[in-house]
Amino acid sequence: MSEQSMTTRASGRHYLLLGALAFSWGSGFLFVELALVDLPPVMVAMGRTAVATGVLYAVARRQGYNLPALTGNGQLWLILATLAVVGHALPFFLMAQAQTELDSNLAGIFIGATPLVTLLVVHFGTHDEKMTRTRIMGVAAGFLGIVVLLGPGAVAGLQNEVGNERAGLLAQIFLILVCFSFATNALIARRMTPLSPAVAAASVSLIATVILLPFAIAVDPDLSLSPSWLAIGAVFFLGAIGTGAATLLFFILVQQCGANFVISANYLLPLVAMVLGVTFLAEQPRPEALVAMALICGGIWLSNRPAK
């Protein structure tokens, strides 16, 4: 597994794609909440990867590609299987399970720490995305923007959860593991042999579905669950947008701009939630939202400035 060289500097197009990735990831929290009303977490995770597989395979075929052959590509499939575990199967299940215990604001703080973890993981795992003073300042500014956007109530709630060893402790551990999973996933994708983004995304989603399927069957072997159409629709949109489109954008950006850049989309997730709330729920944005937006956007730009 050879590391690719970073040849593409982030352009305006890449920042637009980063915003689209953040929207795809951010909308997933809403769909997960809706699906969990009628479905257990493992079925939500498996459903989203199954739908994503169909969507991504159709995209790959439309582009003239097919999945890699099973024979003669053992090392490639091993890498794709690793990405399926650390980037899909494990974090999707852990996030769905955690959302049964913690509200979205607390989950947002934990997931917002992913770029901090990625900065450390990528520093030791690559030769051209090293930790610098500017990058550290940018990552810190972005995380501070999340805290400002979510408000003191979320921070107080986080302190209460951490202070209570019994309340949501396992959910907190799950979300911390999700951060490390996403960071490791970005590093492996950054170092893998170049592959068409649609093919890589479809292959990873397919393997993740195969991994999760027996666990989903074990939860409901008699097929006794009768989810509502709302839950079914939530899983469909979660798979098509929050997983399929997001995975495709992830591979495009990580191949062209690196792991730190693509993971910085996590900073935008609370902004996506705020925009969706204002648009569809008639919520009023708080005054500190503009300050938070400046910190988040400034942090993303600062942390991805090329080293001089």
Q: Identity (one letter) of the amino acid at 84?
A: A
Q: What is the Cα–Cα distance from 180 to 124, expressed in whole angstroms?
A: 14
Whether the Cβ atoms of residue 27 and residue 265 lie closer than 8 Å to each other? no
CA distances from 43 to 17, 48, 177 (A): 29, 8, 20
H helices present in the chain, as ranges: 12-35, 41-62, 74-84, 90-98, 104-112, 114-125, 133-150, 152-163, 169-191, 197-219, 229-237, 246-257, 259-263, 269-280, 288-303
Determine how many CB atoms are found less than 10 A away from the CB of residue 164: 10
pLDDT at 1: 44
- Per-residue pLDDT tens for 22-49? 888 877 877 888 898 899 999 999 999 9
Residue 200 has pLDDT above 80, yes or no: yes
Handedness of CA 261, 266, 267, 270 (dihedral sign): positive
- Per-residue pLDDT tens for 171-181? 778 888 888 88
Q: To the nearest 10°, the Cα dihedral for 138, 120, 112, 256?
A: 70
Residue 153 has pLDDT above 80, yes or no: no
Angle 255-188-245 (CA atoms, 0-180°, nearest 5)?
55
pLDDT at 65: 92
Q: What is the mean pLDDT of residues 201-220?
A: 94
* Phi, psi dihedrals of residue 257, rounded to the nearest 5°: -125, -10
Q: What is the mean pLDDT of residues 179-185?
A: 85
- Per-residue pLDDT tens for 249-308? 999 998 888 877 887 777 777 677 666 666 665 656 666 666 766 776 776 666 666 555
Domain ranges, ordered by start, for the chain: 12-303
* Phi, psi dihedrals of residue 93, rounded to the nearest 5°: -65, -45
Q: What band does 146 get if pLDDT is binned at 50, 70 and 90?
A: low
Q: What is the Cα–Cα distance from 75 to 166, expressed in whole angstroms?
A: 43
Does residue 127 or residue 155 have the better pLDDT? 127
